[in-house]
């Protein structure tokens, strides 16, 4: 049975004190999750919040990004080695905002996947299509290209450590959400792609999260789909009650 995961991506939100309060509230409200709970706060808070999460089973620390190089003269950047040294177990790679605002391409993301795995962290690899691709009905091919370019170079042993997060770009921060059937259709298509590359056993064990405006109201319906294994949560992860409700929806 593959892992069920809810990952909270705080993005560029919360002060340190607010982050500590939010983490305390989440730990109080989420007692015995049916899967893994991953928290991805801003870089400056990783070590502090990681200490809080470490004392609870099933809670894990993630970074929101990492640099593709191991070290060097890259002012303002953070390496995978640095992240691992402060307790990160996961790292989000290829989020649509990184692709859009920072122009990250598939080859760069492949390098980030490599360096993350080399430092013992599990990549949460994001993929997904913009609205015009969805409307043109070419979304499966679009996502397939992302996966093939950034993940399918991995050996099976390394690919087994990857978590995939499907995020329809047209449903992020817009209030629009893919229907549960649309989410299932795409998650199933991703699993078929993985199966063709790595075989059915690996595909069946690969967690695929939904990352498009998943919230406390729609999480249960989304997570009930056979190929939806949890969510990569944005705005709703900033509210302890909402995030706890989403975690409780894990099947």
Q: Measured between alpha carbons, how far is 88 from 120 in angstroms, rounded to an integer? A: 9
Q: Measured between alpha carbons, how far is 170 from 134 in angstroms, rounded to an integer? A: 8
Is 58 noted as a catalytic residue in this protein? no
Write down the catalytic residue from 89, 97, 167, 187: 167
Annotate 133-169 with b (16+ C-beta within 10 A) or e (fewer). Answer: bbeeeebbeebbebbeebbeebeeeebebbbbbbbbb
Looking up tokens 């808070």, which residue turns up?
A: 45
Please list the ranges in the chain whose pLDDT falls under 70. Answer: 173, 175, 177
- Where are the domains positioned within the chain? 5-248
> What is the structure's pLDDT at 173?
67
Contact 79, 54 (CB under 8 A): no
Name the pTM for this structure.
0.97
Q: Measured between alpha carbons, how far is 11 from 18 in angstroms, rounded to an integer? A: 14
Distance of CA 42 to the CA centre of its chain: 15
Q: What is the CATH number of domain 5-248?
A: 3.20.20.70
Q: For 114-143, what is each residue's pLDDT tens digit?
A: 999 999 999 999 999 998 999 899 999 999
DSSP 157: H
Tokens of 9: 């991506």
> What is the structure's pLDDT at 175?
65
Distance of CA 20 to the CA centre of its chain: 21
DSSP 151: T
Contacts of 196 (CB under 8 A, 6+ apart): none
> What is the structure's pLDDT at 64?
98
Is 28 noted as a catalytic residue in this protein? no
Contacts of 155 (CB under 8 A, 6+ apart): none
Write down the catalytic residue from 60, 95, 139, 187: 95
């Amino acid at each position: 049975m593959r892992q069920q995961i809810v990952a909270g991506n705080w993005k560029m939100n919360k002060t340190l004190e607010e982050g500590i309060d939010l983490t305390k509230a989440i730990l109080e409200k989420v007692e015995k999750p049916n899967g893994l709970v991953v928290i991805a706060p801003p870089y400056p808070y990783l070590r502090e919040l990681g200490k809080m999460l470490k004392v609870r089973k099933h809670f894990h620390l993630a970074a929101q990004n990492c640099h593709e190089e191991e070290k060097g003269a890259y002012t303002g950047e953070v390496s995978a080695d640095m992240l691992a040294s402060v307790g990160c177990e996961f790292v989000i790679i290829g989020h649509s905002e990184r692709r859009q605002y920072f122009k990250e391409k598939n080859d760069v993301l492949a390098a980030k996947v490599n360096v993350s795995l080399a430092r013992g962290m599990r990549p949460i690899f994001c993929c997904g299509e913009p609205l015009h691709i969805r409307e043109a009905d070419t979304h499966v091919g679009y996502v397939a290209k992302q996966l093939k370019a950034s993940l399918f170079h991995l050996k099976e042993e390394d690919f087994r450590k990857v978590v995939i997060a499907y995020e329809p770009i047209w449903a992020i921060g817009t209030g629009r959400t893919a229907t549960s059937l649309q989410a299932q259709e795409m998650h199933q298509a991703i699993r078929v792609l993985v199966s063709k590359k790595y075989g059915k056993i690996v595909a069946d064990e690969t967690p695929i999260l939904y990352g498009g405006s998943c919230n406390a109201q729609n999480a249960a319906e989304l997570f009930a789909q056979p190929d939806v294994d949890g969510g990569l949560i944005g705005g709703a992860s900033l509210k302890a009650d909402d995030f706890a409700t989403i975690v409780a929806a894990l099947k």
